[in-house]
Amino acid sequence: MTSGYASISPATRRSILLLSFATFSSMTAQRLCDAMLPELSREFSASLAQAAQVVSMFAVVYGLAQLFYGPLGDRLGKYRIVTLATLGCSVGSVAAVFAASLDGLVLARVLVALGAAAVIPLSLAWIGDAVAYELRQETLARVGLGTTLGIAGGQLLGGLFTDTLGWRWAFGFMTLLFGVVGLLLYADLRRQQAAPPVAHSTQPVVRPGFVAQALLIVTGRWSRVVLGVAFVEGAVGFGVMAIWASHLHHALGLSLSISGAIVALFGLGGMLYMAVARGLIRRFGERGLVRLGVGLLGGSALVIAVTPHWGPTVPASLLGGFGFFMFHNTMQTNATQMAPAARGTAVSLFASALFLGQSVGVLLAAALVTRIGSAAVIGGGGLVLVLVGTFFAHALKQRDALMHLE
C-alpha cells in the first residue's frame, strides 16, 4: 500500500535517508559512553559521578551550541551545516582515541559535541522546510530510525568494545563512521547545489537577529510549554537512562556488554515504533500517543528498577523505547512548527532545552545514586515522565488557543 511519504520526490527521500545516517552517527556518539562509565571510573581512578562528565559535558556543550547552529543553519543552509559538522566530528573522535586522562577524554567529547550538536536539530528543521505538516510526523518517524538505531548502537557498541578490544576502539569506529557519512552528505549536497532550486517552504523568509528570533520563540505561550517539557524530557528520559546499564551491571551482576545490549533494546523499541508509526499516528492522534507512550515508559522504568532477575529487563527495555519514542516523536513534530519562519532557530532551541536537561539529569542521577540508590533514581524518573507526559497531553488540547494568543 502506498503511503503519503511516497508522494515526496525521490531526491528529497534520498536526502532524508542520508540525514538518517547522520542522526544515527550523532546519537551513537551521544550514548557511546553510557556503558563505559564503570570501566572509565576504574581506569582513571575516578568516581562514577566524575566519569559521568563524559556524558554530562557532552550534553552541556551540545545544548549550548544550539544557540550558534540554529541561526547559522537558517542563514547558510541547514543541509550544508549538517554536512560540515558530521565531517568535523571525526576530529573529536580521533582525540578521544588518544586521550591520556579523564580530562583529556572529556575535552575530546566536547569537540565531538560541538559537531554533533548541529546534526539532529538541523536535520529536523530541514525536513520541516521540505515536507508538508500533514506528512511531517510520519517523515520524522522515518528519519527517527537513525536516531533510535543510534541509541541502540551507542549502548551496544560502547559495552561491546569496552568488554573486548577496549573502549578506545569504540572511538576509532566513530572516526570512520563520521567520515564516511560526512562524505556521502557532501556528495548529496553537491547534487542539491547543481539541481534547479526548489522552494521547500511557502513561509515568508525573514532573517532577524538571533536575539530577536529567540525572544519571539521563548515568549510564545505554546513555545514555552514545548521547551519546558523538552527540558524535563531530557533530564528524566535521556539523563536517567544513562545509568540504566550501570544499574544492570552493579545490581544484577551482568557484564558491561550484556548490560549495554539490554539497554540497546530501548533503541530497538524505538525502531519498532517508527515501523508502525503511520498507523498509530492515525489511530491515536498526538494526545493518545503521548499518554500511551509515557505509560509504557513509566512501567518499564519501574520494572528495570525493582526486578531481581535480568529476564524482565529485556521486554521492559524494548517497551520503554517504544513508549518513549511515541512521546518524543510527537514532541519533535510540535517543535518544527513553533516558528516556521525561523525553523532552524526554533528546533535548535528545542534541542538545547532537551540536552541541557539531559546534562542536569545525568549529573543529578549520578549524585542521587550514591544517596538513594540507582533503583530509586530509575523508578522515580519513570514516575516524573508519566506526570510530565500527562501534562503535555492536556496542553495539546489547548494548543490552538495558546498559539492564537501569541
- Any domain includes 180: yes
The Cα-based distances of 324 to 145, 294, 331, 345 in angstroms read 13, 6, 11, 25
Average of per-residue pLDDT values in the chain: 80
pLDDT, tens only, 9-29: 787 788 888 998 998 998 888
The Cα-based distances of 190 to 15, 69, 79, 198, 372 in angstroms read 12, 21, 11, 15, 54
**What confidence score (pLDDT) does residue 207 get?**
52
Mean pLDDT over 165-180 rounds to 90
Mean pLDDT over 180-192 rounds to 89
- Any domain includes 3: no
The Cα-based distances of 82 to 91, 181, 362 in angstroms read 15, 11, 26
**What confidence score (pLDDT) does residue 177 get?**
93
**What confidence score (pLDDT) does residue 81 get?**
92
Mean pLDDT over 221-231 rounds to 85
- Any domain includes 185: yes
Least confident segment among 68-72, 131-135, 202-206, 258-262: 202-206
Which helix (H) or strand (E) covers residue 142, if one does? helix 133-163
**What confidence score (pLDDT) does residue 175 get?**
93
Q: How many degrees, rounded to 5, is the angle at CA 236 between CA 215 and CA 213?
A: 10
User: Given pLDDT bands bounded at 50, 70 and 90, which one contains residue 85?
Assistant: very high
User: Can you give the CATH number for the domain in which 18 is found?
Assistant: 1.20.1250.20
Count the domains in the chain: 1
- Any domain includes 202: no
For residue 202, pLDDT beyond 60: no
Domain holding 280, by residue range, is 8-196+207-404
The more confidently predicted of residues 85 and 127 is 85
- Any domain includes 311: yes
**What confidence score (pLDDT) does residue 339 get?**
67
Q: Is the dihedral of CA 22, 23, 24, 28 positive or negative?
A: positive
Q: How many degrees, rounded to 5, is the angle at CA 292 between CA 289 and CA 295?
A: 140
pLDDT > 70: percent of the chain: 87
- Any domain includes 123: yes
- Any domain includes 224: yes
pLDDT, tens only, 390-405: 998 888 877 655 554 4
Q: How far apart are CA 33 and CA 31, in angstroms?
A: 6
**What confidence score (pLDDT) does residue 1 get?**
40
For residue 215, pLDDT beyond 70: no
pLDDT > 90: percent of the chain: 8
Least confident segment among 41-50, 166-175, 350-359, 393-402: 393-402
- Any domain includes 201: no
**What confidence score (pLDDT) does residue 204 get?**
46
pTM for this structure? 0.69
pLDDT, tens only, 343-375: 777 777 887 788 778 778 877 887 888 888 888
Residue holding cell 559535541?
Answer: 113
User: Given pLDDT bands bounded at 50, 70 and 90, which one contains residue 4?
Assistant: low
For residue 139, pLDDT beyond 80: no
pLDDT, tens only, 319-346: 988 988 888 888 888 887 776 666 777 7
Which helix (H) or strand (E) covers residue 271, if one does? helix 256-306
